[in-house]
A and B are shown apart, each in its own frame.
Chain A
């Protein structure tokens, strides 16, 4: 999409989706500043030089650009050396009823599909054994299997669809795999071995959106109870990880099972002492200036929106709302009032939504720049991080936590009412 030259186009350009295509990267990607640089370069290097099939956790706040960075990783890896399976669990699995058993079935099927689409022949016995195992655990009959394969849709896609749509298939699969999960992982590893051997390339699996498991219990079960299984497939795997869970006391044991945990933090617009960070501000400026002409903005209003939000997605959202406000007032430029109105509206909404316990905890974070739950049963910090009311930043001096800059003007009011 070309850079907007009027407010209507600006409004429509200011929707931020993860960048995927080369053209999009060329037009919209803004290099992160050195102080909070992208970890993708290092991740790529690790994959390229490691002799072991490493497993990585990729952490980041929602809207911080994880999917974009993972797409960059896919593009950066040498395709003569690696076979990339980059997928989102949202595509095929039922996120409201999600279990690690379906997760491994889906990973196996994605790898199998990749081999088929790359025309890599799988050894006949391995393929047959894999198909029969999957049919057995999903209760797909021979007749169904035949009708599926003659229908032009790949059988793996149909099985994923059945798992996604049919509660009874999920239930059956879970019972079947209860004692056979190691059988599934064994077959998965056979597939990997055979494909890597035939292609002469190494498989890299990138699993996006695992951090989108919305129910805390669901993601805790997935990562805390099953992390031992997540490292068993015999290929490189990058797992996205819900950052709020990293603030849980159990995280340390999870982290140690993986080779590296990569964190993509929000780029700060102020340091922990409250001084503005020119590098961070410039990064955010460029994100918007790649999407709209500077003439559409009154002087200094971008900076105002940046320091008042301090988070990528929220900043873009405020600029989008401001462009709508300005367009509606028949202006040619976004002025300070438009930004103020958008900020006030969002701030008021959050003020109404937060509970007294949330506000108390946010005041604590604001004063000590740390966010830790008091114990495994306490969930307030995770809720605040999940909703981005609290944010973790990183600069040259390390990491620290702060409340959402948008909420800063409310902190004083909350303090008085405590």
Chain B
């Protein structure tokens, strides 16, 4: 689950709706986001719903060449990542060739930084005029990141979410709780209320609901539900800044996923344990968990998980000054990110370059 700011839920959903309704047609949608890390999260959300192609643009000629390129087969949305500040050749290419975004046959999202957007408005007015929607995201600059609910990555016809609807769903769940007779439904409803409160930055309230859900899951012997509730409790304590408590819950969740043979869940809980130990300042322990999680990712063919865990391992190694291992892990992560066109590629490459530069004798 990607983490996006609660303030951006409406705007992100509007953008996803726009992509949905222009599917199979050219369109030029602008997404303004300040930090590359946050942009990666948004990309991940888009990738949960659409197949994508990501193109990183460094100069105007490449942009024109790529825009004029052949139609992409099996791709729903084309994602274009631009430098933080736009050089003249890119500005002019955007301004003069904006119609190619419409001729591509699939919608494009152009990711711009706020300053690049200002440049586009004043210096590339034709590009600005002939766009589809523009979506300015606030990001997680306040340091508060929230879990985006699954609804954001489910098909539009199934469900979607906005801040307003989140509050409505909260009221509905509260109302239904009084009516529901079925215990399993009750547990689900409580669990959803927990997630809503987590989204609303109320982790303590979230914990209350998750605990109630857990109690019911145990009563009715729903092991999978129990594991999920324990994992949710771990996340909520992690949000509260209590990694030790988070670890207790993740460990219980891990035990259950092993008992019921849920390999993906097992991998996730191991990865979360790694993160929690990293938060605790215990990188060696974090490494042990990341390695176990990595092994599972490889066994079940989860390439995204494999890449992410290699990246995390690299960072942990580097923190321990085990630089060669760090570089090796990050190189492996980069290879996978390249193969799966992961949005994490750019930041992984940058980190790797920085590490390698530090290794080069001056």
Question: A317–B99 contact, CB under 8 A?
Answer: no
A321-B95 contact, Cβ under 8 Å, with A11-B21, A383-B122: no
Interface of B is mostly: helix
The interface bits of chain B over 103-138 (1 if a CB of A lies within 8 angstroms of the residue's CB, else 0) are 000000000000001100111111001111110100
Q: Which of B118, B126, B133 contacts A321 (CB 8 A)?
A: B133
Q: Which of B27, B93, B130 contacts A96 (CB 8 A)?
A: B93
A320-B99 contact, Cβ under 8 Å, with A12-B21, A214-B124, A328-B14: no
Q: Is B102 in contact with chain A by the CB < 8 A criterion?
A: yes
For the complex formed, measure the closest distance between the CB of A190 and the CB atoms of chain B, giving whole angstroms: 32
Question: B123–A327 contact, CB under 8 A?
Answer: no
Q: Which of B17, B22, B132 contacts A328 (CB 8 A)?
A: B17
Question: B122–A387 contact, CB under 8 A?
Answer: yes
The interface bits of chain A over 1-23 (1 if a CB of B lies within 8 angstroms of the residue's CB, else 0) are 00000001001100111000000
A387-B125 contact, Cβ under 8 Å, with A8-B21, A17-B99, A349-B136: yes
Cα distance, A17 to B118, chains bound together (Å): 24
Question: B129–A324 contact, CB under 8 A?
Answer: no
A353-B25 contact, Cβ under 8 Å, with A17-B99, A215-B88, A324-B133: no
Cα distance, A215 to B91, chains bound together (Å): 10
Q: Is B92 in contact with chain A by the CB < 8 A criterion?
A: yes
Per the CB 8 Å criterion, the residue count for chain A at the interface is 34
For the complex formed, measure the closest distance between the CB of B67 and the CB atoms of chain A, giving whole angstroms: 13
Question: B17–A324 contact, CB under 8 A?
Answer: yes
A324-B97 contact, Cβ under 8 Å, with A12-B22, A96-B60, A386-B125: no
Q: Is B140 in contact with chain A by the CB < 8 A criterion?
A: no
Cα distance, A146 to B44, chains bound together (Å): 51
Question: A353–B118 contact, CB under 8 A?
Answer: yes
The interface bits of chain A over 213-248 (1 if a CB of B lies within 8 angstroms of the residue's CB, else 0) are 011000000000000000000000000000000000
Question: B118–A62 contact, CB under 8 A?
Answer: no
Chain B residue contacts of A62, Cβ below 8 A: 125-126, 129
For the complex formed, measure the closest distance between the CB of A197 and the CB atoms of chain B, giving whole angstroms: 36
Interface of A is mostly: helix
Q: Is A90 in contact with chain B by the CB < 8 A criterion?
A: yes
Question: B22–A11 contact, CB under 8 A?
Answer: yes
Most buried by A among B25, B121, B125: B125
Question: B126–A96 contact, CB under 8 A?
Answer: no
Chain B residue contacts of A212, Cβ below 8 A: 95-96, 126
Chain B residue contacts of A202, Cβ below 8 A: none
The chain A residue sitting closest to B32, CB to CB, is A349
Q: Is B13 in contact with chain A by the CB < 8 A criterion?
A: yes
The chain B residue sitting closest to A16, CB to CB, is B130
Q: Is A137 in contact with chain B by the CB < 8 A criterion?
A: no
Q: Is B89 in contact with chain A by the CB < 8 A criterion?
A: yes
For the complex formed, measure the closest distance between the CB of B209 and the CB atoms of chain A, giving whole angstroms: 28
For the complex formed, measure the closest distance between the CB of B138 and the CB atoms of chain A, giving whole angstroms: 13
Question: B125–A328 contact, CB under 8 A?
Answer: no
Q: Is A325 in contact with chain B by the CB < 8 A criterion?
A: yes
Q: Is A184 in contact with chain B by the CB < 8 A criterion?
A: no
Q: Is A95 in contact with chain B by the CB < 8 A criterion?
A: yes
Chain B residue contacts of A321, Cβ below 8 A: 133
Q: Is A157 in contact with chain B by the CB < 8 A criterion?
A: no
Chain B residue contacts of A388, Cβ below 8 A: 125, 129
19 contacts between A and B (CB under 8 A): A11-B21, A15-B27, A15-B130, A95-B95, A95-B96, A96-B92, A96-B93, A209-B96, A212-B95, A212-B126, A214-B96, A214-B123, A313-B129, A313-B130, A317-B129, A327-B17, A349-B117, A353-B122, A386-B122
Please name 19 further chain A to chain B contacts, defined as beta carbons within 8 Å, in addition to the given A63-B129, A386-B122, A388-B125, sorted by A numbering. A8-B21, A11-B18, A11-B21, A62-B126, A95-B95, A95-B96, A96-B89, A96-B93, A209-B96, A212-B126, A214-B91, A214-B124, A327-B21, A328-B13, A328-B17, A349-B136, A353-B118, A387-B121, A387-B125
